[in-house]
Amino acid sequence: MSYRNQYADAIERQFCDLENRIIADIIRRIKKTGEITSTADWQVNKLTGLGYSSDDIESAIKNSLKASWPDMFELYDHTIEQEYTRNKKVYEQINGKFVPYKDNAQLRQWTESAKDQTKGALQNLTRTLGVAVSVNGQLTFLPLTEAYKKLLDAAVMDITSGAFDYNSVLKRTVSALSNSGIRTIDYASGYSSRIAVVARRAVLTGASQLAGRISDMNAEKLGTEYFEVSHHSGARPSHRRWQGKVYTREQLVTICGLGKVDGLKGANCYHDYYPFIPGVSKRQYSDKWLAEQNHREDQPKTFQGKGYTAYEAKQQQRKLETSMRAQRQKVRGLQQGKGSPDDIINEKARYQGQLQEYKRFSTAMGLKPQMDRVYIDGLGRIAPGNMPKNI
């Protein structure tokens, strides 16, 4: 695992924990409601701690942000070490001079700017948190405090009025929360994603862009306008056509899309570029090797009657991991709410089925299972337990 992913994982865990705590709080309040026998009792009890406070949510968000800063700062410090300091010998061989980071005012300014920018991005993400819930049969994004109140009020009314039993309401609410997760939305596009995923992406993008600026500076000091772009398997089609090759700085923009959200160093891009000195540097990937690799990745591998290219296989693997995390959240929610033992066993069985399918799919595609991407939710072991005989 790369150093960037290690730090990004730590930050993602903080936001997974935030999501878990908010969902657990809703379940705790619904569980408390299940102990109330009538609507009249609810009217009395809601004044004594059963209701929610938006201050509690704000406090949880602030605590998660605060906890993520050390990992984010360490990530940028490590980026300096990996992308700048390690080139000390190259500098000394080419021009005999290397300026330590502490004496490099320009680089220190860039680093602080990148830290502030990423910190601001994470703060902005938490200002648009919400839950995708069903309203009149339509999936609608509701701001977090509104969704919290709506889900809790609906659960309370259904339980205290006797319209639904506690286990049915608990299962319905847990399913709604685990299927959606705590999300952040881009209101301009209407697109929303789970906060932990977006936070991870923001941090990785910030570190990647800082590494790019360091590469630009290194190239200038080394007197070259050429760069070699890195290569990784399963790249998205629009990136695969330019990865692994050498370009001028201008071509990084015109061909690779540097500076664009969907280009080199953009959102979810794992590529880097490094100074390349013609006649001195040696390419890591020949054109022949790249062509052969692309041909191999284009050959579909089959699972349950469907073919997947290398890119499609990696996307499907991520999708299966997301489904497993949602199912784990569902099991844990039912456990926290002291739900029906049969419901809990059935949901565990579904998770076990997902887990087996994930392993079979990964094997068929020649991919390494990445269970750390599932367990990053911090929910611990979701054991299958005793399976009912009809499963």
- Do both 40 and 103 map to the same domain? yes
Phi-psi region of 50 (alpha: psi -120 to 50; beta: other; left: phi over 0): alpha
pLDDT band at 389 (very low <50, low <70, confident <90, very high): very low
What's the pLDDT tens digit per position in 296-346? Answer: 999 999 999 999 999 999 999 999 999 999 999 999 999 999 999 999 999
Q: Are 225 and 248 in contact (CB under 8 A)?
A: yes
- Do both 48 and 91 map to the same domain? yes
pLDDT band at 55 (very low <50, low <70, confident <90, very high): low
In a domain, 256, yes or no: yes
pLDDT band at 391 (very low <50, low <70, confident <90, very high): very low
> How far is 15 from 65, CA to CA, in rounded Å?
8
Mean pLDDT, all residues of the chain: 83
In a domain, 215, yes or no: no
Residue 183 parent element (H or E): strand 183-186
- Do both 40 and 184 map to the same domain? yes
- Do both 257 and 305 map to the same domain? no
- Do both 152 and 228 map to the same domain? no
In a domain, 390, yes or no: no
What's the pLDDT tens digit per position in 262-273? Answer: 999 988 899 999
- Do both 199 and 78 map to the same domain? yes
For residues 44, 50, 53, 57, the Cα torsion angle rounded to the nearest 10 degrees is -170
* Domain end position, chosen among 297, 315, 335: 297
Phi-psi region of 221 (alpha: psi -120 to 50; beta: other; left: phi over 0): alpha
> What is the arithmetic mean of pLDDT over 199-226?
87
SS3 135: strand
Q: What is the pLDDT of residue 34?
A: 66
- Do both 283 and 310 map to the same domain? no
- Do both 137 and 238 map to the same domain? no
> How far is 16 from 196, CA to CA, in rounded Å?
6
Q: Report which of 154, 153, 136 is spatially closest to residue 52, judged by C-alpha positions.
A: 153
In a domain, 383, yes or no: no
In a domain, 128, yes or no: yes
SS3 28: helix
Q: pLDDT > 90: what percent of the chain? A: 35
Provide the number of structural domains found in the chain: 3
Q: Are 63 and 126 in contact (CB under 8 A)?
A: no
> How far is 270 from 207, CA to CA, in rounded Å?
11
Of 31-40, 163-172, 216-225, 321-330, least confident by mean pLDDT is 31-40
Q: What is the pLDDT of residue 136?
A: 73
> How far is 242 from 278, CA to CA, in rounded Å?
19
- Do both 252 and 182 map to the same domain? no
- Which one-letter DSSP state was computed for residue 50? T
* Domain end position, chosen among 239, 262, 297: 297
In a domain, 214, yes or no: no
- Do both 129 and 234 map to the same domain? no
- Do both 119 and 187 map to the same domain? yes
Angle between helices 54-83 and 144-160 (to 10 degrees): 140
In a domain, 380, yes or no: no
What's the pLDDT tens digit per position in 228-257? Answer: 999 999 999 999 999 999 999 999 999 999
Q: What is the pLDDT of residue 43?
A: 47
Structural domain boundaries, residue 198? 3-208
Residue 122 parent element (H or E): helix 105-126
Q: Between 184 and 255, where is the model more confident?
A: 255
Q: Report which of 72, 90, 77 is spatially closest to residue 9, judged by C-alpha positions.
A: 72
pLDDT of residue 132 exceeding 70, the answer is yes
pLDDT band at 383 (very low <50, low <70, confident <90, very high): low
pLDDT of residue 54 exceeding 80, the answer is no
pTM of the predicted protein model = 0.76
> How far is 256 from 282, CA to CA, in rounded Å?
21
